[in-house]
Structure 1
Amino acid sequence: MTASETTTTADLIVEGATLDGATVDVVVRDGRIAALGPGAAGGVTAPERIAAAGGLITPPFTEPHSHPDKALSRRSIGPLGLPARLTERPALMQRQRDLKATFTRDEVAGRAGAFLRLAASQGVGTVAGQADIDTVTGLTSFEGVMDAREAHADLVELRVTAFPQEGLVQDPGAYDLVAAALAAGAHRVGGWPNNERSFEDQLTHLDQVFELAERFGVGIDINVDYFTDPTERLLEPLAERTVAHGMQGLVNANHVGALETYPDDDARRVIAKVAEAGIVVTVCPSNLGGSYPYRGVSRANELLAAGVTVAAGTGNLQDNWEPFGNLDPMDTARMAWHAFPLSDEDDRGVATAWQLVTGHAARAAGVPYGELRAGGRADFTVLAATTLTDALRNEPGPRRLVRGGRVVAGRAGELWTAPAPAGTR
Structure 2
Amino acid sequence: MLIKNAKVNEKIVSICIENGKISCLNCECPTDEVIDAENHLVIPPYFNMHFHLDSVFLPISNKSGTLWEGIQIWKEVKGKLSEEDVIKRALTAVKLMVSQGTLWIKTHVDVTEKSLTLLKALLKVKEMTKDIVEIQITAFPQDGIYTEKGNDELLRKAIEQGADNVGLIPHNEITREDGVKSIKFAFDLAKEYNKDIDGHIDETDDPNSRFLEVLAKYSLEYNWNRVTAGHVTAMHSWDSAYRFRILPIVAKAGITVVPNPLINAMLQGRFDNYPKRRGMAPIKEMIKFGVNVALGHDCIMDPWYPLGIGSMPQVLFMAIHLDQMSTLEDLQNSINLITYNSAKAWRVKNYGIKEGYPANLLITNDDDIIDLLRFLDPPAYVIRNGKIIAKDGKEILFNGKWEKVKRKPE
Letter in 2 for 1:228: D
Name the residue aligned to 2:201. Answer: 224
**Counterpart-to-counterpart distance in 2, 1:367 and 1:110:** 28
Name the residue aligned to 1:85. Answer: 63
> Equivalent of 2:176, from 168, 177, 199?
199
SS in 1 for 2:70: helix
**Counterpart-to-counterpart distance in 2, 1:72 and 1:376:** 35
C-alpha displacement at 1:356, in angstroms?
0.7
> Equivalent of 2:365, from 384, 387, 392?
384
Name the residue aligned to 1:363. Answer: 344
Q: Is the 2:114–2:154 contact (alpha carbons within 8 Å) kept by the matching residues of 1? A: no
Q: Tell me if 1:154 matches 2:131.
A: yes
> Equivalent of 2:312, from 329, 332, 351?
329
Q: Which runs of 5+ in 2 are unaligned?
A: 272-276, 395-410
Instruction: Summarize the alignment of residues 384-403 of structure 1 with structure 2, pairs less than 5 Å apart.
Output: 384-394=365-375, 396=377, 398-403=379-384
Residue range with higher mean Cα deviation, 62-71 or 85-94: 85-94
C-alpha displacement at 1:185, in angstroms?
2.2
C-alpha deviations, 1:79-123, integer Å up to 9, x for none? xxxx65233444322111112121111211111111110111011
Residue range with higher mean Cα deviation, 12-21 or 288-297: 288-297
Letter in 2 for 1:209: A
Name the residue aligned to 2:289. Answer: 306
Q: TM-score, normalised by structure 1?
A: 0.87
**Counterpart-to-counterpart distance in 2, 1:401 and 1:41:** 23
Letter in 2 for 1:167: G
Percent identity (aligned): 28
Letter in 1 for 2:150: G
Bigger Cα Rg: 1
C-alpha displacement at 1:299, in angstroms?
2.3
**Counterpart-to-counterpart distance in 2, 1:396 and 1:282:** 24
Name the residue aligned to 1:268. Answer: 244
Aligned residues: 387
Instruction: Summarize the alignment of residues 205-216 of structure 1 with structure 2, pairs less than 5 Å apart.
Output: 205-216=182-193
> Equivalent of 2:90, from 90, 104, 112?
112
Q: Tell me if 1:52 matches 2:37.
A: yes
Structure 1 pair 99–214 and aligned structure 2 pair: CA distance change class (3 A): same
C-alpha displacement at 1:174, in angstroms?
2.0
SS in 2 for 1:252: strand
Name the residue aligned to 1:405. Answer: 386
Q: Tell me if 1:131 matches 2:120.
A: no
**Counterpart-to-counterpart distance in 1, 2:365 and 2:34:** 15
Q: Is the 2:51–2:299 contact (alpha carbons within 8 Å) kept by the matching residues of 1? A: yes
Q: Tell me if 1:34 matches 2:34.
A: no
Q: Which runs of 5+ in 1 are unaligned?
A: 1-11, 78-82, 414-425
C-alpha deviations, 1:341-374, integer Å up to 9, x for none? 211xx11111232111111122344534602222
SS in 2 for 1:24: strand
Moved over 6 A (4+): none
> Equivalent of 1:315, from 291, 295, 298?
298
SS in 2 for 1:130: strand
C-alpha displacement at 1:41, in angstroms?
4.6
Name the residue aligned to 1:62. Answer: 47
Q: Is the 1:65–1:315 contact (alpha carbons within 8 Å) kept by the matching residues of 2? A: yes
Name the residue aligned to 2:258. Answer: 282
Name the residue aligned to 1:421. Answer: none
Structure 1 pair 185–393 and aligned structure 2 pair: CA distance change class (3 A): same
**Counterpart-to-counterpart distance in 2, 1:278 and 1:269:** 16
Q: TM-score, normalised by structure 2?
A: 0.90
Q: Tell me if 1:347 matches 2:328.
A: yes
**Counterpart-to-counterpart distance in 1, 2:66 and 2:103:** 35
Q: Is the 1:255–1:295 contact (alpha carbons within 8 Å) kept by the matching residues of 2? A: no
Q: Is the 1:13–1:41 contact (alpha carbons within 8 Å) kept by the matching residues of 2? A: no
Name the residue aligned to 2:403. Answer: none
Name the residue aligned to 1:252. Answer: 228
C-alpha displacement at 1:61, in angstroms?
0.8
Letter in 2 for 1:85: K
> Equivalent of 2:57, from 72, 85, 89?
72
Structure 1 pair 302–24 and aligned structure 2 pair: CA distance change class (3 A): same
**Counterpart-to-counterpart distance in 1, 2:144 and 2:108:** 14
Name the residue aligned to 2:122. Answer: 145
**Counterpart-to-counterpart distance in 1, 2:378 and 2:223:** 46
Letter in 1 for 2:107: G
SS in 2 for 1:160: strand
Name the residue aligned to 1:102. Answer: 80
Alignment RMSD (CA, Å):
1.8
